[in-house]
Chain A
């Protein structure tokens, strides 16, 4: 039962509303579209999971909105409305005022994401000071200690004076979280927060994220390729492939009412205890960066640029090519 209703952004009701964001990379062999017309919303108070494999554009989309792209990348089009203002239209100065204050980012590899020659306390403090210059030094220091304790680092005053290399991987990620939430942002972006960590530590960090989110009352965008994490943490999910959104749905619908073959193959690649596994082929092949033309997923004839999603269920949208397909059961 499908209707021909297309997905439309809800700027007023969303915290962050991305509309047709297009980002290109300059490479040696030409220009590549890393993000090819991506639209989705982040609602207040929710945890949105953004899923895809490497090269799908899931991180680049967010970084485009925040203006944190590397020099070789350029945003070519689209809008990113945050609390009514289009981030993509703002100047660097205006954007920099938002970063760290309204939006906090947690990066993937805490090993390289922290400055090795600055103390951990100083790295947190400078974010605080940047957005509130009136605070006294003691106040800032107190806040730093408070944050460190919040994220589960004991003996905060001593630890604050130490350098990143003196912390373990999990501890470093806690520090990154502390930096991200230092100014109680409304939106937290976590870009593969647990990928670089041991499995045993991953659970701890995820728990921490949940707790922190509740305390601060922020929305969380969880970018990852790990569907297990999504299943645990996300309220809604956006699935990306080849620089586009192929499906978005509430987490339950995504797992039990999968419409897109790519999503299906992602799910099927999760090992299940109760079934024997057979060889698996992923549908289609992700475009090698850099492709010089359009990406053709099997079945879809839509040319680049026009890929609005079609509604197939409650809050559930998918690439029109698969809108009328039969429900795909996730079996092996």
Chain B
């Protein structure tokens, strides 16, 4: 007669189970660049939001007597071609650029989320049509498309937000759709459905939580792209129209060789501001991606 022995507990100690969220946070923090990025972004946002209140100089105040002045005690970063204080414009431009970037990313994410969920959930020809449209939209370079749209409608902030947002959703769409498709067939969903859960319930309790993580990553990427796009468009004169300041149109000045060569204060701050902000966002995005992807060993 064989001896059947009950399973014996291991003599070793197994690390205590960490919740997935805690694990993700720990990995994010281990990613030093991401932390640096987060801090940097925080500083930028803080500067943009609080800065103008502290500085108290009107970014749109034209002073024909103080055109293109180098940095001085009165104007910490000098003045531009219309005599406006560069630092004030930098901070104000920060507000605009950040706002635009965020709004665009949000719009694109929401559109992508909704369409992706619809496509994944209903499948069939709805999915086919939406996917085809996405492919087409994805293959057109956003900059050129937006340029063309603006060519016909004239530059304005709203146009830019709508146009860019309308062309950046495919990334979010793809991710959400893929997730919904895989979730739909999972047994856990089938089980819940079998219990009589409504579609809304499934969407809210099951789909949305698993979508949040990858979407956050996509959203950060979109923010970075949106800021760059806005800057590029404004630089070409097709984005945020003057006199409103934005980092992009501040760089517009630099197209003159005189400015470029001998008045660095007019364009270097804005350019660096964009670079630092986008870099910070990208750091954060990378960190998020590594943190939320359980099998990424980089």
Contact = CB atoms under 8 A, between A and B. Distances in A.
- Given a CB threshold of 8 Å, the question of whether A touches B is answered with yes
B5 A284 contact: yes
A261 interface: yes
A285 B15 CA distance: 17
Contacts of A285: 7-8, 10
B3 interface: yes
Interface stretch (A59-67, A93-101, A291-299): A291-299
Contacts of B1: 329, 331
Nearest to A287: B10
A261 B2 CA distance: 9
Contacts of A332: 2
Q: Is the interface of A mostly helix, strand, loop or mixed?
A: loop
Given A29-B15, A291-B14, A329 B7 contact: no
A283 interface: yes
A108 interface: no
A322 to B, nearest CB: 11
Contacts of B14: 288, 291-292
Interface residues on B, range: 10 to 19
A332 B4 CA distance: 10
Contacts of A268: 2
A296 B3 CA distance: 18
A78 to B, nearest CB: 22
B41 to A, nearest CB: 27
Q: Is the interface of B mostly helix, strand, loop or mixed?
A: loop
Contacts of B10: 285, 287-288, 291, 293, 295-296
Contacts of A292: 12-15
Interface in B9-41: 10-15
B7 A281 contact: yes
A279 B250 CA distance: 77
A281 B14 CA distance: 22
A293 B11 contact: yes
24 contacts: A261-B3, A264-B2, A280-B4, A281-B4, A281-B5, A283-B4, A283-B5, A284-B7, A285-B7, A285-B8, A285-B10, A287-B12, A288-B14, A291-B12, A293-B10, A293-B11, A294-B11, A294-B12, A295-B11, A296-B11, A296-B12, A298-B5, A328-B2, A329-B1
